[in-house]
Amino acid sequence: MTILVTGAAGFIGAHVLAQLLLQGRRAVGLDNFNDYYDVSLKGDRVAALLGPLGGVVEHVDCADMGSLRDFFARHGIERVVHLAAQAGVRYSLINPKAYVQSNLVGFVNVLECCRQARTAHLVYASSSSVYGNHESLPWDENDSVAHPVSLYAATKASNELLAHSYAHLYRLPATALRFFTAYGPWGRPDMAPMLFARAILAGEPIRVFNHGRMQRDFTYVDDIVQAVCRLLERPAEPDPAFDRHQPRPATSDAPHRVFNIGNHQPVELLEFIGMLEQALGKPAVRQLEPMQPGDVLATYAATDRLNDWVGFAPSTPLARGLTKFAQWYLGYYDR
């Protein structure tokens, strides 16, 4: 069985592909190596995490159907972990077309290739942002996702609808992963831990939106990888208890499932900054600012369904995860 990981030069993708290889699985990766952030970081990430394992990441863009179809044929792909996407809520306000091309065109191409290859299971990245400003916490997979507050969130909600249609029409088993604020070593430069660490060590102010009165369900990358790998081994199935008269979003009479991948422990931003200061050994200069367009006040994952399905839910304490992140950051950027 050959497993494809798309976005394999990315933060989560490289970690997932590395874990699959460590398990002795036959796995390959692709990435378009775009310049949304420093391409050298992607190269270093691949070299560090995948190089020692013989991991291969080919330069392929999911939005290029010809190249993607050729990749599937050459490698005999049987399962897919689709993590390639244009990330970032704020960037979607600046460059919306990038999200349409990658998150919609690219995603449909992946669905089509999976259909044509009769793929046994498609596990794909959604996002906690699909919940919008839903104020009933924790967020449950059966909550409505009909009110996104950013284009990025809208593309991820669209992915879930598109995948469900393929699960219904072609019986393609597909599992959506709603990631909650991933962090850890080799993270993206636009993520809060990376932005804050750079500013703290440089003695520069860090921008603290909504005056720090926001909560995030920070989820350590190793926990995310564990969840992804376990879910990959249990393909989505139709729910025999699904009620068409009262349909619930989390399951379906098609082989499509949705799971939150979060730590189930929301932390206020100011507390997060305090932990990061301690991990880095240096105080931060806080620059308090108002709420930004597209942001939400709090994220908080209900993880009962994930635990019931695969016997696992993320649980790494934030202080421990930030210590590991800080050790990597200091080692990488102080070379």
Q: CB 241: neighbour CB atoms within 10 A? A: 8
Q: Which residues contact 304 (CB under 8 A, 6 or more apart)?
A: none
Q: Extract the tokens encoding 285.
A: 């200069």
Asked if the 2-180+220-263+301-314 domain carries CATH number 3.40.50.720, the reply is yes
| pLDDT tens track, the chain, 335 positions | 899 999 999 999 999 999 999 999 999 999 999 999 999 999 999 999 999 999 999 999 999 999 999 999 999 999 999 999 999 888 898 999 999 999 999 999 999 999 999 999 999 999 999 999 888 899 999 999 999 999 999 999 999 999 999 999 999 999 999 999 999 999 999 999 999 999 999 999 999 988 888 899 999 999 999 999 999 999 999 999 999 999 999 999 999 999 999 999 999 999 999 999 999 999 999 999 898 887 788 899 999 999 999 999 999 999 999 999 999 999 999 75
Which neighbouring-strand residues pair with 220? 183
Alpha-carbon distance 80 to 16, whole Å? 12
Residue whose C-alpha is closest to residue 299's, from 124, 156, 135: 135
- The angle, 0 to 180 degrees and rounded to 10, between the axes of the packed helices 192-202 and 318-333 is 60
Q: Which residues contact 315 (CB under 8 A, 6 or more apart)?
A: 223, 263, 264
With vertex at residue 23, the alpha carbon angle to CA 21 and CA 29, rounded to the nearest 5 degrees, is 25
Alpha-carbon distance 182 to 83, whole Å? 13
Distances in Å between the Cα of 303 and the Cα atoms of 43, 195, 320 are 33, 28, 20
**Which candidate in 36, 152, 166, 220 is catalytic?**
152
Alpha-carbon distance 152 to 179, whole Å? 13
Look at the alpha carbons of 321, 258, 132, 163 in this order and tell me if their dihedral is positive or negative: positive
Annotated catalytic, 36? Answer: no
Residue whose C-alpha is closest to residue 74's, from 170, 173, 4: 4
